[in-house]
Amino acid sequence: MQYKTQLDARMEKPNVLVVDTVDRHILDALESYGAAVDYSPGISRDAILEIIGRYQVIVGRTRMPIDRGIIDAGEKLRIICRAGVGIENIDAEAAEARGIRIINVPGAATESVVELTVHLIIAGLRSTHSCIEDVKAGKFVKSLGSELAGKTVGIVGFGRIGTKVSQVLKAFDAEVIVTDLKDYREKAGKMGVEFTDHRTLYSRSDIVCLHVNMEVNKVPVIGMAEVGMMKDGVILINTARGAATEMKAICEGLDSGKIGFYGADVMWNEPPKEEAELRMLSMRNVAVTPHIGANTKEAQERIAKSLAKDLVVALGEIEGA
Ligand SMILES: NC(=O)c1ccc[n+]([C@@H]2O[C@H](COP(=O)([O-])OP(=O)(O)OC[C@H]3O[C@@H](n4cnc5c(N)ncnc54)[C@H](O)[C@@H]3O)[C@@H](O)[C@H]2O)c1
């Protein structure tokens, strides 16, 4: 769909290709700037490859990886814009080699992801997800759950989201222990949570929450070895990225009962398609939401406003260069 082509008359302004659904604020900001925006949220990779040579800017979200192929074909590309938090689906190396700037919005979805994480933890403790399904199906059966108060929760990745989740969980009277690749002992101490190493965290936690960023991890953070270190029946929550856990380790952990519950907002394939992940999804002790961590009105508005501002500044800079 052609969103606005006022650039037909002013060819000096940048052409922008938007390949995912984005908030109106971004489109309005681009329009006010005078850019020519082609808004094509469902466009295929092949179609992008055919036309990307005409654009200075590409804007996307999670759906479409901006890989080396797209970057190489984008001869005029100057800016890659991710209307979201992580940039792991952008080939940053290829972009950097060409001097292409990457713009994203770290932090804009923190509150939304924190709240969803707590929801998944409670689902794991109280089986609310399956109770609701049962009642709908006419089965008014009570399950016996557990309280969050007094449980030890291990937070892997003590960045923006991990920190806020820790604060919220302390209000539930949970014991919070954290780990990170960076030395956050001082921050942890100030918050009254314990900073520890990965192994200790896995062995002590009743609940493990993953809040790592995957740009710095070449392999899944949770594989067979890590699952093996965890308590029997552990509740494992992943609202970070599908690739943060190893599919085989999670499926085998669920099959053996080592993992008592897997709650996630992210999958290895989105939507899930492999036999193992589809089978896992049918289990009662698995609850997965369709990557809606950042999908609140508030987060989307924050993302859009922040991105619109940064994008207009960057457009001015590339025009002036
Ligand atoms: N579900 C969603 O829709 C959604 C929305 C926003 C963010 N996220 C994801 O949530 C995650 C956290 O986001 P954030 O804003 O808190 O990021 P952040 O960069 O502020 O924090 C991530 C932390 O993880 C640490 N880390 C990375 N690898 C680690 C490892 N192997 N072990 C221990 N620590 C490790 C980093 O050092 C960093 O401190 C990211 O993966 C992000 O993409 C998901």
- The per-residue pLDDT for range 62-113, each reduced to its tens digit, is 889 999 999 999 999 999 999 988 888 999 999 999 999 999 999 999 999 9
**Topology classification of domain 15-106+298-320:** Rossmann fold (3.40.50)
Tell me what pLDDT residue 208 has. 99
Query: Ligand 1 atom closest to Cα of 88?
Result: 43
pLDDT given for residue 9 in this prediction: 42
Which pair of tokens denotes residue 274? Answer: 């492999």
Q: Is the CB of 242 under 6 A from ligand 1?
A: no
What is the residue whose two structure tokens read 């100030």?
Answer: 190
CATH number of the domain at 110-288, please?
A: 3.40.50.720
Known catalytic membership, residue 119: no
Give domain limits for the chain: 15-106+298-320, 110-288
Catalytic option among 133, 147, 270, 317: 270
Closest CA to 236 of 267, 203, 205, 262: 262
Say what the pTM is. Answer: 0.89
For ligand 1, the distance from its centroid to the CA atom of residue 159, given in whole angstroms, is: 6
- Per residue in 160-187, pLDDT tens? 999 999 999 999 999 999 999 999 999 9
In the residue annotation, 270 being an active-site residue is answered as yes
Please determine whether the domains at 15-106+298-320 and 110-288 fall in the same fold group of CATH: yes
Buried b (16+ CB within 10 A) or exposed e, 80-97: bbbbbbbbbbbbeebbee
Q: Is 212 in the pocket of ligand 1 (CB under 6 A)?
A: yes
Q: Are 260 and 233 in contact (CB under 8 A)?
A: yes
Query: Tens of pLDDT along 17-33?
Result: 999 998 888 898 888 88
